[in-house]
Amino acid sequence: MTFDFGEQVLNYFQERNQSHLTIDLEELSSPCCVGRLPEIRFRDGIPENTELYRRFVVHGIHIYLSRLLRTQEALRLTLSGFGPFKRLELGGVNLIL
């Protein structure tokens, strides 16, 4: 499996003085018949139980990816928005209801 991100994402981490990122699966409850809605959650830092995560080091950034996430062979971290509204997005993950 490969994990990649561009110069914009690297600058984003440097601006925030961040060297660790945890990517989790968060399930939000839904009032409709679906029952739950899976979402990706980004957190700064190292997870409590690192055994539950796959670990990558990309451009000096330590990334912990939840083993609960169904992924494709290639993952890509991108940045969307502008100014104070920038946010990370992850491509290559299959969120299943």
Pairing relation of β-strands 2-5 and 70-80?
Answer: parallel
Each residue's pLDDT expressed in tens, for the chain with a length of 97 residues: 888 888 899 999 999 999 999 999 876 566 666 566 677 899 999 999 999 999 999 999 999 999 988 888 899 999 999 888 888 999 888 766 5
Top-tier CATH class for 2-94: mainly beta
Instruction: Report pTM.
Output: 0.84
- How many other β-carbons are positioned within 10 Å of the β-carbon of residue 11? 11
Pairing relation of β-strands 70-80 and 20-29?
Answer: unpaired
Going from N- to C-terminal start, the domains of the chain cover: 2-94
